[in-house]
Amino acid sequence: MALVSTKEILDKAMRSGYGVGAYNVNNMEQIQAIMLAAKDTQSPVIIQASRGALKYSSFIYLSYLMKAAIIDNPDIPIAMHLDHGNSLQSVIEAINLGFSSVMIDGSLLEDGKTPSTYDYNVKVTREVVDYAHKRNISVEAEIGTLGGVEDGVGSHSGKAKLTDPNEAKRFVCETGVDSLAISIGTSHGAYKFQGESKLAFDVLQDVRSLINIPIVLHGSSSVPKCLVDKVNQYGGKLSGATGVPMESIQKAIQFGVSKINVDTDGRLAMTASIRKFFAEHPEKFDPRDYLSVARADLAKLISYKMKDFKTAGHSND
């Protein structure tokens, strides 16, 4: 079986200087698309489920679909990761479902919205590390707060608090986490920047020089114009949607980011395909017809990302 921890995947990526995408999943077609891309490009992969995704699938369904991907792809290293765990309880639930890796996002309080204090973050992260490490589960934490509140995760104010590099160093020492998400100007969702995209690469470089564990970038979707245009062409309304250009993600990887979180781009790819399908085939109503088109288009998108992040070819590292 190819289930591994994110620590195993990310430590290798950090040493060799490539990025690994962590792709959010909610259903079978998304998981199959990601695995098709991973097989096609020979890439290790992190499939991640948010609390919302687990709830949507009554927990058990999604975890078994992820396990099916592992059985179906014995040659691909796969990590099953909990995205944005909000408490020790949510982490325990994921570990009981068979996840190999968890995130505890103590940058926000348990509501997933209110920015917390440094002390709160250290306390909840340490509890999770103590619990998870005893069971060989790797732990990602977050320091600094991402802007934006799209999709239910992000600070109430919508304002980002960029990571303080010295605080990041202290946090890693005080918690013993395996990887660290930092805030350098990205945000969740399809509306990341008003005007030009700007990331604080200086903060990233400072953090990289002070800590020696993999760095994680949330809110890393590129919101490709071609996908936004396709959604709008077939009746969608996404005006002013923008993301992080791929060149910026590649620069972030060069400067030391190892895990790149992508959810929004996958949503856009599937929505664009399904909208086009219905516009062109109003007579169709079998879910397999439109979901198979959406699955194929998502697989193509993820394959491109695996190549652009330089994950491709590393499944046997």
Q: Which residues are catalytic?
A: 83
- 24 makes contact with ligand G3H (CB under 6 A): yes
- 192 makes contact with Zn ion (CB under 5 A): no
Work out how close the CB of 283 gets to ligand 13P at its nearest, in angstroms, rounded to a whole number.
34
State both tokens at 253.
């990887």
- 76 makes contact with ligand G3H (CB under 6 A): no
- 37 makes contact with ligand G3H (CB under 6 A): no
Residue 27 CB coordination number (10 Å):
16
DSSP letter, residue 172:
H
- The interface with ligand G3H within residues 191-250 (CB under 6 A) comprises none
Interface residue with Zn ion among 7, 192, 218, 305 (CB under 5 A) is 218
38, 74, 79, 178, 305 from 1: Cα distances, Å = 16, 5, 11, 23, 25
DSSP readout, 183-249?
-SS-BSSSB--SSS----HHHHHHHHHH--S-EEESS-----HHHHHHHHHTT---TT-B---HHHH
- 51 makes contact with Zn ion (CB under 5 A): no
State both tokens at 161.
């608090």
Interface residue with ligand G3H among 33, 53, 108, 260 (CB under 6 A) is 53
- 314 makes contact with Zn ion (CB under 5 A): no
Which range binds ligand G3H by CB under 6 A, 145-153, 241-249, 287-295, 303-311?
Answer: 145-153
6, 95, 259 from 137: Cα distances, Å = 9, 8, 17
How many residues of this chain interact with ligand G3H, rule: CB under 6 A?
Answer: 11
Work out how close the CB of 151 gets to ligand G3H at its nearest, in angstroms, rounded to a whole number.
4
Burial 146-159 (b: 16+ CB within 10 A, else e): bbbbbbebbbeeee
Measured from the CB atom, the residue of 126 and 218 that comes closer to Zn ion is: 218
Which range binds ligand 13P by CB under 6 A, 226-234, 256-264, 278-286, 295-303?
Answer: 256-264
CA atoms of 83 and 50, how far apart (whole Å):
5
- The interface with ligand G3H within residues 241-270 (CB under 6 A) comprises 263
- The interface with ligand 13P within residues 56-115 (CB under 6 A) comprises 83-84
Residue 61 CB coordination number (10 Å):
14
3-state SS assignment for residue 315: coil
Given the rule CB under 6 A, which residues bind ligand G3H? Answer: 24, 50, 52-53, 83-84, 151-153, 188, 263
Given the rule CB under 6 A, which residues bind ligand 13P? Answer: 24, 83-84, 188-189, 218-221, 261-264
